[in-house]
Structure 1
């Protein structure tokens, strides 16, 4: 078939095999002079700023999640305090003399471990010792020691997973959102790299067509000049051919400009160079083979696409975050009722060791149990925050539904683009064949003396336009295939790219 000959002749997109996940080589990282599509994608994965920036965001969200869990890690506290309190004595009412001030000195030491649990229990396990002495006892040591545990358990407001894990749940949803955003960034950059590579291929082929068209016009001009000298052709035919040569020189300049722009667009995706040196590099790409053709079926592939689409998964985690916040705000509508209690043991002795041993021997027990009630009068602020949280969740759910709708439409449009582009390839290939035949026929007529230079020149331009249209249709077909993979969320799998961990890609 002519389409097969045309595609094998002008396009060969190198398949990216999923079974060969080789590490990025130095040549793909450091050299831009000759690139296969594989090399271009590898360079983009390693050096593209969008991917690097999104990876940093994912790492930051992971750190935020770790920080939220850190709130439940116990903390250690140690204190030492020395005070000296002098109290003046009243003057003697008979003599007027004021006795020396009464002095009390205190050394206090404490160590403890405390924290909060995911269900809201606050706990402190501590040991305390105080040595109080003064003028009242001749500054004799007197150690009071205590060791025990203090607990505060919310019963309503502040109780349960919804109230205490809200930070973790929000951070986890944010991290999962960032992970999918990273996957989406990789997919988008890979697709953009494929498109930019194909556009450079098209631009180079367009330049080659422009040069061939100029050469055809130049060949006709040379032939016309010889025939004019022989007296078998008019000066007008020579002038017409010369004019077309000049016009096609301009087309070469415009095509060369398009190649330069296409190179810069590709370089922007595959390198981290950000100085003017980027513009000095020249890209030479290899021949490419077509992507694997496929018959799209949006209706059958829609549900699977939802599981793989980064934007849909991000919208789902936005709903998760909104729901976590709503449940937390609902908990805050209740009054604060805390059950408080403590249990420990005391020791008192002029000798510190003996005071400590009394605690260890649990000679004197100390405990307490109580309830603390605290409540605003109107709950106006809490009700307002809860209503806001409900509306935010409703909004997130609507955005999720809208995302599903957008995916349906985008899948349908991408499938239509494949069908249309496939038909364009056939039509433009047929047109190319007819243009070649028409040019051959007009050349034969001109050489036989029955044709027209003007018609031949026009037919040359028609042939060049048919070639460009055929190339454009083939490129658009390849782009449509790549876009359909992106809409299905299959870009990475289709090109053998895997994401290891959160931000590491292998290819």
Structure 2
């Protein structure tokens, strides 16, 4: 049998590492296979000419769905809620139970004990419930039971049994007294939970703002590409006209060469505009997490919504009121000040001397058996005590901590005031920018209209031979620039509104988004 066990042990020592290595190899192979499958899906999607049509709402939904920053921030409130539960656990009762048997043999110190070697057996079964109230009061409710047997000849009952229900109360009068001080950790933890909610809200708002901005930027570069192609088309049309004129001897070779150079230059501009357009498309895919989707990562994105010029009335005072009411960072800063007040109060209390009132009351019974001991537990046999505990800390550590908390509060107040100033300046800047962008749209629209009318008029003059080729190309450039300026004005106006909403803390409200509690 022993040889069999040794053989089994040897096999385990030899083959166990090999089995473990095989398991690791299989796991690595499975992971590699999964990566290859994912890679194959990406490659297959890249070979397809897919088109993804999305609107602004879809863009926001995609951005919020799998954003890593949001996923991280979503966990934070749950962690802070666990901190609340941990702090509340200080006021949960604790049940304790103890069972001990003590047997002792010793040389008798008294002849009346009746033996040369004295023996005693002490068996105890005790249970208690202890805890603390929010006022600082500590309580302990005990039920003490004992069985005692010895060689003593003058012990009335041998063995004897005791039973004693007892309650002990300790009430602080200075240090540790008060609901505010004792619930400080709970209140701070609850406030930290509110701060984590505000931080999560701020992250969501920032993600929405970035996704909308990326959407509008992509619109701009799409329009810029379309305008570049239209400008190229105008130059090519002019080139065809000039070729025919040159054949008839109506223009010089210099005019023809200038037109050809302009067409080539605008073709380069189309290529550059296309590059920027694709970069903006990739930026949109990145912020919306489409780049991680093996089905649509290489799809062509077509936008449903177009920028509108919807004038919104903005008022500085109203915007500031909204900012101080809805901004998550301002809300979080106010909570931080409350936490610091609580910590100051707790530190001040910790510097006080300890003066505790203590009191206990119990009933005890003693009998020849346990039932008899229980029957004697009544008001005839009481056990009570009262007293005072007093201690003063030797040193200035607690006082230094109190001073430290007050200085930290002073720092926080200065930071809070600076935050208020920054909010006022930021909101005022955003309000001004919205109004300026609104005027820019009006001016750009009028400029585009006039440049279009002028270009049409100059085409007629050119057909009549009253305008040179150089001037005509210049009119085309001015028209294209006015068209691009108008698109840019629309985009910048909408982005200015996005930034104003963010500065006021109204991004969620304006986009009709409600966060889960």
Please confirm whether the aligned pair reaches a TM-score higher than 0.5, indicating the same fold: yes
TM-score, scaled to structure 1: 0.84
1:148-194: per-residue Cα shift (whole Å, max 9, x none)?
A: 11111111011002321110121122111122222222222222222
- Relative contact order: is structure 1 or structure 2 higher (C-alpha 8 Å, sep ≥ 6)? 1
Among candidates 451, 456, 470, match of residue 440 of structure 1: 456
* Structure 2 residue aligned with 1:51: 70
102-111 or 398-407, larger mean C-alpha shift: 102-111
Cα distance, 1:292 vs structure 2: 4.3
1:393-413: per-residue Cα shift (whole Å, max 9, x none)?
A: 112222222222112111211
102-111 or 163-172, larger mean C-alpha shift: 102-111
Among candidates 138, 142, 164, match of residue 146 of structure 1: 164
Q: Does 1:40 align with 2:56?
A: no
Q: Does 1:374 align with 2:391?
A: yes
Cα distance, 1:274 vs structure 2: 4.4
* Structure 1 residue aligned with 2:12: none
Map residues 68-467 of structure 1 onto 2, 5 A cutoff. 68-88=87-107, 101-136=117-152, 141-271=159-289, 274=292, 279-290=297-308, 292-359=310-377, 361-378=378-395, 380-467=396-483
Aligned partners of 2:311 and 2:438 also within 8 Å: no
Distance in 1 separating the partners of 2:384 and 2:489: 85
Distance in 2 separating the partners of 1:268 and 1:373: 66
Change (3 A) 1:80 1:476: same
Distance in 2 separating the partners of 1:61 and 1:152: 32
Change (3 A) 1:257 1:140: farther
Aligned CA RMSD, in angstroms, stands at: 2.6
Residue 71 of structure 1 aligns to a residue in which SS? helix
390-399 or 244-253, larger mean C-alpha shift: 244-253
Distance in 2 separating the partners of 1:466 and 1:273: 34
Among candidates 62, 76, 82, match of residue 81 of structure 2: 62
Aligned partners of 1:114 and 1:124 also within 8 Å: yes
Cα distance, 1:37 vs structure 2: 0.9
* Structure 2 residue aligned with 1:483: 499
Among candidates 461, 471, 485, match of residue 469 of structure 1: 485
TM-score, scaled to structure 2: 0.83
1:261-307: per-residue Cα shift (whole Å, max 9, x none)?
A: 32233233333764888752432211335274222211244234311
Aligned partners of 1:48 and 1:272 also within 8 Å: no
Structure 1 alignment gaps of length 5 or more: 1-30, 93-98, 502-507
Cα distance, 1:130 vs structure 2: 2.1
How many residues matched? 462
Change (3 A) 1:291 1:170: farther
Distance in 2 separating the partners of 1:186 and 1:245: 46
Structure 2 alignment gaps of length 5 or more: 1-49
* Structure 2 residue aligned with 1:15: none
Distance in 1 separating the partners of 2:185 and 2:451: 68
Distance in 2 separating the partners of 1:453 and 1:433: 23
99-108 or 483-492, larger mean C-alpha shift: 99-108
Aligned partners of 1:428 and 1:469 also within 8 Å: yes
294-303 or 129-138, larger mean C-alpha shift: 129-138
Distance in 1 separating the partners of 2:292 and 2:468: 54
Aligned partners of 2:307 and 2:494 also within 8 Å: no
Distance in 2 separating the partners of 1:315 and 1:372: 41
Distance in 1 separating the partners of 2:339 and 2:310: 40
Cα distance, 1:334 vs structure 2: 0.8
Cα distance, 1:381 vs structure 2: 0.6
1:52-86: per-residue Cα shift (whole Å, max 9, x none)?
A: 22221122212212222222121222222233333
Aligned partners of 1:120 and 1:154 also within 8 Å: yes
1:321-340: per-residue Cα shift (whole Å, max 9, x none)?
A: 11000011111121011111
Change (3 A) 1:39 1:274: closer
Cα distance, 1:135 vs structure 2: 4.4
* Structure 2 residue aligned with 1:22: none
Aligned partners of 1:123 and 1:151 also within 8 Å: yes
1:409-449: per-residue Cα shift (whole Å, max 9, x none)?
A: 11211110011101111111122123223332333333323
